[in-house]
Structure 1
Amino acid sequence: MSDLILLPSAATLASGGFASDTGVWRLAAGQAQRMTLAAALNESRRPVVLLHPADARLAQVKVPPMNRERSLRAAALALDEQLLGESGSLQVALGERIGDLLRIALVDRALITSLRTLLAQLGAAQAPIGPLAAALPPTQMPALWGVDGEIFLFSTEATLSLPPEDAATVLALGATATGTAYGLAPLEGWSAGGSLPPLQVPSILFSNGQAGKQLWKAWRAPSYLAAACALAALAGLSLWWQALSGEATRLQDSMRAQFVKALPGTPMTGSPVEQLRAALAGGSGASTFERLLEASDRAAASWPRDLLQGADYGNERLTLRFAAKGLDASTKTQIESSLKGVGLNAQWTGETTALVTPGGAR
């Protein structure tokens, strides 16, 4: 829950402006305490500063539905007509909409600027500022609140501040006949309520453009650094992608060269890997190399593991290279027999090499 800090009217201050020792009311946990502004800010959790009704007024202007920026401009134009062009010295805050009427709050621009400067000096630059007039829900109106020698009259049209002796006169001149009185003796036609009205965070708050600028100033350098890091990362990814693309091209060229070497005279009609797999599977129309390789692969299934070290093909001749370890006479006989079983002949051209040619029994 936020604590509310009610400021006095700036016109009643001898110094002509708010100061750290200005007397305020701090409203927290259903209790009102009188203290200085500096103490109230120091003791409050999430303080919300409420401007006196004499300093922050409410009004209603007829503005069609539109976005916030356009609504602010339209409200300023409407105020110019009502205030004879004097709205330029006022800061306007937008509230809720009731049909075509837009509820707004007005405050002197110089007053709220000086107040924000003071709050920043007291370590509360981010404290929201709103009108006391918008701190009581409309469902709780009308209401009277007597505090510190003056009476606040809350109504849906406006919130007024008047001396106690004028309260009965205002009621007699047309105020609602029923309501609730807070913090003072019941008046005629009004029922007595608790010591404090059910005030809450105002439905209208004045935007803090200066705090936004200060916040941006604080985060400007980190934001620029983050943007620079993002750009560097994108540049690095681009370079990495270019390197991968070049490597892929080199791999494709290498596979084409190996395909031509492995299947001389065979046109490459698609993926060299898939075409080579199809060649290993055999089939009608297979080249001499394809038949030799497919048959040798079937024969090698019965050989000791890691015995076959590689193969070379040229001039329709397939030469198999074997590991010297484990290649004795009986193993060579086994190799010859297995190759013969798949329709190939083996002729040993060296201690560890054998020339494989078509022939033998299938």
Structure 2
Amino acid sequence: MSTLYIRLPSKAVAEAVEHWLALPCPYALASGDAVEREGVASLNELAATVAAAQRVVLLLAAADVTLLRVKTPPLSAAKLKLALPNLVEDQLVTDAGECVLAAGDMLDGLRTVAVAQRGWLDILAKTLAGLGARQLVAVPAQLCLGQQAARATAATMEYGGTDIELTLRLDASQGMGLTLAAETGASGAPGEVLAALAALVPAMPLTLYVGQARVAAYHDVLRTAGGVREINVFADNWSLWIPASGKLAPNLLAGMTIHDGAQAQWRQWRWPAGLAAAVLAVNALGLNLDWWRLKHEASTLRTGMVSTYKATYPKETVILDALAQMQKKVAAAEHNAGRAQPDDFGPLAANFDAALNEQMRTQNMTTAAPIASLEYRERALLVRLKPEVQLSAEQMKPALAARNLSLNLANGAWQIRSVQ
């Protein structure tokens, strides 16, 4: 899975410029722990890389995240999340509701809790989601610095030669950050950084990571200052940050409800969605055209039938259903001419007799006169069989259906009708 790591400027640095999205941000695109590409670019310039990466990890400036050590009761993750504001409110200088709290691991009986301003995190999350980030994680930068036993670790990031982000890690669970305003001049930034580190960790051995171009300047300042304190200066590189960024550092965005990039992903789907909409529009147009064609054909047929009916029966003035009225007229004419209709008594009785005899042969019945009564009423036969004839209506229905007859029960009798 491709992961994009971005070291962000602090809120103070971002607010000091007009367009903070143009600030340089060190980044690395990695697969696992192997770095595929790295460099320094603004968030605007990283838009395509952000959208292509499967996961984006934001390393929040250490100055924007406060790490607290809190004793917590044994609670589930969900209950601990609800209890955190009450557990840390005494250590906060602002309302806990304005902060995002993320619990880390337990160490020496205390739990590390990362605290950051909700408003700033919301801006970052929405900005990255707008750039197309799919899965977004935000971790404190101070907990991503490589840790060394009995040594403090620090790293710097300079913006425009005046603002310096200082990240300091003291041990496995403690770290901090400062935003420094450096003096102008070649040695201004190194002098400010080393003075701040001397105040924060006056006696502890220190490893300092700075930009490749700044290593010599820091060495010069250290040689000039002298002293017996052990300070090692090396070039900053992503192998210091990536291993710890996804293992121990708490995710500050896990406690927020943000847009996860689904809206931004709409831009990637706009052409497929547009194509699908076009296909639906073409299909809808085709269906409408087909409906209009069928409607026109139906209207033509209806007009033709009415014209034929009027020509055949010119005295008829009321025409509600030309086809049904024509069928009735033809049936009446055939009846008047002596032609038997399927629902006349003769055809009904003959077809029923044939079906009954066929079914009795199938059932090996030899009753000579199986019918007890036979009536013709309302163009239907009402048949009652003798008690000794053991034929059910369900047995008779297939034979009757083969002769276009239907069978229904009416007052204990079989009602036989033509279905033609």
- TM-score (normalizing by structure 2): 0.45
1:130 aligns with 2:139: yes
Q: Number of matched residues?
A: 216
1:198 aligns with 2:246: no
Q: Is the CA contact (8 Å cut-off) linking 2:62 and 2:141 kept in structure 1?
A: yes
When residues 55 and 125 of structure 1 are mapped into structure 2, their CA distance, relative to the original with a 3 A threshold, is farther
After superposition, give the CA deviation of every residue in 1:180-236 in whole Å (9 maximum; x if it has no partner).
221233445112334326112252112153347969xx9xxxxxxxxxxxxxxxxxx
- Once the 2 structures are TM-superposed, how far is the Cα of residue 109 of structure 1 from its aligned partner? 0.9
Q: Is the CA contact (8 Å cut-off) linking 1:144 and 1:153 kept in structure 2?
A: yes
- Once the 2 structures are TM-superposed, how far is the Cα of residue 67 of structure 1 from its aligned partner? 1.0
Output the amino acid matched with 1:12: V
Partner residue, 2:168: 153
Partner residue, 1:118: 127
CA distance in 1, matches of 2:67, 2:94: 18
- Once the 2 structures are TM-superposed, how far is the Cα of residue 99 of structure 1 from its aligned partner? 3.0
CA distance in 1, matches of 2:175, 2:61: 12
For residue 110 of structure 1, give the secondary structure of its aligned residue in structure 2: helix
Q: How does 1:239-258 map to 2 (within 5 A)?
A: none
Partner residue, 2:44: 38
- Once the 2 structures are TM-superposed, how far is the Cα of residue 72 of structure 1 from its aligned partner? 2.2
Partner residue, 1:209: 257
After superposition, give the CA deviation of every residue in 1:149-194 in whole Å (9 maximum; x if it has no partner).
5233222322222534333334444445323221233445112334
1:179 aligns with 2:206: yes
When residues 139 and 204 of structure 1 are mapped into structure 2, their CA distance, relative to the original with a 3 A threshold, is farther
CA distance in 1, matches of 2:42, 2:96: 32
- Once the 2 structures are TM-superposed, how far is the Cα of residue 98 of structure 1 from its aligned partner? 0.8
Q: Is the CA contact (8 Å cut-off) linking 1:57 and 1:133 kept in structure 2?
A: no
- Once the 2 structures are TM-superposed, how far is the Cα of residue 119 of structure 1 from its aligned partner? 1.3
Q: How does 1:255-274 map to 2 (within 5 A)?
A: none
Q: Percent identity?
A: 20
CA distance in 1, matches of 2:78, 2:5: 28
Output the amino acid matched with 2:234: G
CA distance in 2, matches of 1:191, 1:31: 27
Q: Is the CA contact (8 Å cut-off) linking 1:90 and 1:109 kept in structure 2?
A: yes
Q: Is the CA contact (8 Å cut-off) linking 2:7 and 2:25 kept in structure 1?
A: yes
Partner residue, 1:13: 14
For residue 69 of structure 1, give the secondary structure of its aligned residue in structure 2: helix
When residues 84 and 23 of structure 1 are mapped into structure 2, their CA distance, relative to the original with a 3 A threshold, is closer
Output the amino acid matched with 2:98: S
When residues 75 and 213 of structure 1 are mapped into structure 2, their CA distance, relative to the original with a 3 A threshold, is farther
Q: How does 1:1-362 map to 2 (within 5 A)?
A: 2-14=3-15, 20-28=21-29, 29=35, 33-43=39-49, 45=53, 46-83=55-92, 86-139=95-148, 142-148=152-158, 149=161, 150=164, 151-156=166-171, 157-163=174-180, 164-173=190-199, 174-183=201-210, 184=215, 185-186=218-219, 187=222, 188-196=229-237, 198-200=240-242, 201-202=245-246, 203-206=249-252, 207=254, 208-211=256-259
Output the amino acid matched with 2:168: L
Output the amino acid matched with 2:206: G
CA distance in 2, matches of 1:75, 1:154: 23
When residues 195 and 210 of structure 1 are mapped into structure 2, their CA distance, relative to the original with a 3 A threshold, is closer
- Once the 2 structures are TM-superposed, how far is the Cα of residue 76 of structure 1 from its aligned partner? 1.2
For residue 167 of structure 1, give the secondary structure of its aligned residue in structure 2: helix
CA distance in 2, matches of 1:48, 1:21: 19
Output the amino acid matched with 1:142: A
When residues 9 and 171 of structure 1 are mapped into structure 2, their CA distance, relative to the original with a 3 A threshold, is closer
Q: Is the CA contact (8 Å cut-off) linking 1:59 and 1:158 kept in structure 2?
A: no
For residue 39 of structure 2, give the secondary structure of its aligned residue in structure 1: strand
Q: Is the CA contact (8 Å cut-off) linking 2:6 and 2:57 kept in structure 1?
A: yes
- TM-score (normalizing by structure 1): 0.52
Q: Is the CA contact (8 Å cut-off) linking 1:10 and 1:16 kept in structure 2?
A: no
Moved over 4 A (4+): 14-20, 211-215
- Once the 2 structures are TM-superposed, how far is the Cα of residue 81 of structure 1 from its aligned partner? 1.5
Consecutive unaligned residues of structure 1, counting only runs of 5 or more, are 219-362
Which of structures 1 and 2 has the larger relative contact order (alpha carbons within 8 angstroms, sep 6+)? Answer: 2
CA distance in 2, matches of 1:30, 1:125: 19
For residue 258 of structure 2, give the secondary structure of its aligned residue in structure 1: helix
Q: Is the CA contact (8 Å cut-off) linking 1:7 and 1:51 kept in structure 2?
A: yes
CA distance in 2, matches of 1:15, 1:179: 30
Q: Aligned-residue CA RMSD in angstroms? A: 3.2
Output the amino acid matched with 2:257: G
Output the amino acid matched with 1:42: A
CA distance in 2, matches of 1:112, 1:130: 11
- Once the 2 structures are TM-superposed, how far is the Cα of residue 77 of structure 1 from its aligned partner? 0.8
Q: Is the CA contact (8 Å cut-off) linking 2:133 and 2:260 kept in structure 1?
A: no
Q: Is the CA contact (8 Å cut-off) linking 2:99 and 2:116 kept in structure 1?
A: yes
When residues 34 and 213 of structure 1 are mapped into structure 2, their CA distance, relative to the original with a 3 A threshold, is closer
